[in-house]
Structure 1
Amino acid sequence: MIQRSPKRAAAQVSLVHGSRRLIQEADMKIPVIRYHTAKIDGVNVFYREAGPADGPIVVLLHGFPTSSHMFRNLIPLLADRYHVIAPDYPGFGESDAPDHTRFAYTFGNYADIVDALLNHLDAKRYAMYVMDYGAPVGYRLALKHPDRVTALIVQNGNAYEEGLKEFWDPIKAYWAENTPARREALAGLVSLETTKFQYLDGMSDAARIDPDNWVHDQALLDRPGNKDIQLDLFHDYGTNVPLYPKFQAFFRERKPPTLIVWGKNDKIFPADGAAPYLRDLPNAEMHMLDSGHFALEDKLDEMAPLIHDFLDRNLGRT
């Protein structure tokens, strides 16, 4: 048993009471994040949820190779006013990962799953934060329900062929020739080396990047059968490219309020893919950040005020 001196114990009690007083005096309301699972089309879909139930809804759609975990620090900063919903796609995070021979790992299916989840939660209108894989998932959802989208926040999420640069060359070869050799050539994209690269490359301050990110993501990537899930998705990503003109038509015709916050040093979805948005959304607000692929990890202090201000101006205060 650890013995504490009376003075030390009294000091600790005083510190606890002092902290409580500071919170009460500041009238601080610390948002609570809740963790749920819903059965959608026979699959357990995990999602994080926070904020007032009657607040404007903001849906956060994650990228590869992560999950809703990528939004863990942003959610509390939005949930003071907004009803935040952040799902994990099947095969990612805490959602089920059925064998790839028993489940269609496609972006069309992901959009349907997210759509069904939002219907389950009675989410009729929502802003979408899209990043990486989240962009085609979200934009497919927008094509299904254009009237439901209240605003877009785009972080390194592509909708233009200009954004598919050298990194994508071996993946494009796989799209063109779906052979075992082309498939296996991409196996390195699910390695620890590549996962760390995604978090560290292009970051202005690597000391801000929590190594738990790649440890967490890699542990999930290394689950039995997950490599085949990811390789199926690499191939199906090619089905998004023919939809780019439809995504762009949605931007032009619906003109959703749009905030673009883009890590300009990203080699996966480089800055070349950001500027074309302004062709179709000339009123979009664009901020190019000195960051890489996962800009929320080192630029949260810059991004969160931009995002909150954008939502306040376009969704209204509650």
Structure 2
Amino acid sequence: MTKRLILSLMLATAPVTAVVTAPASAMAAPSQIAAATSTAPTTVHYRTATVDGVKMANREAGPADGPVVLLLHGFPTSSHMFRNLIPLLADRYHVIAPDYPGFGQSNAPDHKQFVYSFGHYADMVDELMGQIGAQRYAMYVMDYGAPVGYRLAIKHPERVSGLIVQNGNAYDEGLGAFWDPIKAYWKSGSAKDREAQAWLVTQKATIFQYTDGVSDLSRISPDNWVHDQALLDRPGNKDIQLDLFYDYRTNVPLYPQFQQFFRERKPPTLIVWGKNDKIFPEPGAHPYLRDLPEAELHLLDTGHFALEDKLDEMGPLIRDFLDRKVAPR
């Protein structure tokens, strides 16, 4: 074998290290690097705290010293409903979204051994916020989150820096025909009327809550009802929910106190309401203006879970409101 052939074979089989140099025009400018950094994905922490002997889960994001925004979810979901909103706020705001016991990733003790009530939930959220060290906060209240949040507000009115209200009721006008069978249960407390509400924890009802009143169903992820229904179907959860349906009656006598809080404290308020919602319909949105005449009201062409359909509209409204009214620069 000739020396030339041996040399050729050695070159062909040797490891090759390639160095690629990009042209100067392809290198990222400092401003581009800064922009990329500013749009980096938000880190959300999934934490738990022991409150009244129960593991209570919460999503938390944003600067620890930022203005606090407390996100209070509705039925039958959890902090999961805020998964897309949190990144839109967490660059500046300290966002906290708890799961109530019996919902999401929080514990769900047996309903015979644990009091499932809105008053208890408000006290537990209060204790959780104390553990976190949040002494002042704006609240996003939706559905069940409204009585939880408003109970918290009348307990500590000085702590509320603002309100974002999304299909969360505080007025008699907001309890329409949908509530008639539930009101019958409130009146009788009978086993028959209790069982008549069990349809509300079925998959059909869960899908209805996400899709009714929505014009373009392709905007709604089916993951929502798959996620929620899996939690509703846990053993014992139906009784938890039926207890809460019955306890909702205790919120109604507190409406005058909620309204007094609005009038006396006048918290900056943004109302973003799915006007096609049959559970908490549009007539429940307008009375807020009686007690909060400077509230900003936006009626959206969607249903109950408006964030799933209209985040592109709601996100900028919420962020602008917080920046102007809660934590102006």
Of 109, 115, 136, the residue aligned with 2:147 is 136
Tell me the amino acid that sits aligned with residue 44 of structure 1: K
1:171 & 1:201 partners in 2: Cα distance?
20
* Structure 1 residue ranges, 4+ long, deviating more than 4 angstroms after superposition: none
Q: 1:91 aligns with which of 102, 106, 124?
A: 102
Partner of 2:38: 28
| Count of paired positions | 303
The answer to whether 1:217 aligns with 2:238 is: no
Indicate yes or no: 2:257 matched with 1:246. yes
User: Matches of 1:286 and 1:115 in 2, distance apart?
Assistant: 28
Aligned residue for 1:86, secondary structure, equals strand
Aligned amino acid, residue 80 of structure 2? H
Aligned twin of 2:13: none
CA distance in 2, matches of 1:246, 1:290: 30
Matches within 5 A, 1:65-214: 65-214=76-225
Specify the alignment match of 2:21 in structure 1.
none
Matched, 1:55 2:55: no
Name 1:40's counterpart in structure 2.
51
Aligned to 2:248: 237
List per-residue Cα deviations over 1:21-66 (Å, max 9, x = no partner): 9972514243211100000110000000000111100000000000
Unmatched tracts of structure 1, length 5 or more: 1-16
**Does the CA-based 8 Å contact 2:268-2:326 persist in structure 1?**
no
Amino acid of the residue matched to residue 90 of structure 2? A
Structure 2: how far apart are the matches of 1:316 and 1:179? 48
Residue 315 of structure 1 deviates from its aligned partner by 1.9
**Corresponding residue SS for 1:109:** helix
AA partner of residue 161 (structure 1): D
Stretches of structure 2 lacking an aligned partner (at least 5 in a row)? 1-25
Selected match of 1:292 from 277, 290, 303: 303
Find the structure with the greater CA-based Rg: 2
Partner Cα separation in structure 1 for residue 254 and residue 238 of structure 2: 26
Could you tell me which amino acid in structure 2 is paired with residue 290 of structure 1? Answer: D
CA distance in 2, matches of 1:35, 1:107: 23
Q: Deviations over 1:117-149 (max 9, x none)?
A: 000001000000000000000000001000000
> How far is the alpha carbon of 1:251 from its aligned partner?
0.2
| Secondary structure class of the residue paired with 1:102 | coil
Check conservation: 1:81, 1:317, Cα contact below 8 A: no
- Superposition TM-score, scaled by structure 1 size: 0.93
Q: Hey, what's the Cα distance between the residues in 1 that align with 2:27 and 2:44?
A: 25
Residue 200 of structure 2: SS of its match in structure 1?
Answer: helix
Instruction: Give SS of 1:47's match.
Output: strand
The offset of 1:204, in angstroms, is 2.3
Query: Residues 90, 284 of structure 1: CA spacing in aligned structure 2 closer, same or farther, 3 A cutoff?
Result: same
Per the TM alignment, residue 205 of structure 1 is displaced from its structure 2 partner at its CA by 1.5
- Using the TM superposition, give the Cα deviation of residue 223 of structure 1 relative to its aligned residue in structure 2, in angstroms: 0.1
Separation of aligned partners in 2, 1:121 and 1:231: 31
- In 1, are the aligned partners of 2:146 and 2:170 still within 8 Å (CA)? yes
Give the CA RMSD over aligned residues: 1.8
In structure 2, what is the equivalent of residue 4 of structure 1?
none
- The superposition leaves residues 76-130 of structure 1 with CA deviations (integer Å, 9 ceiling, x where unpaired) of 0000110000000000000000000000000000000000000000100000000
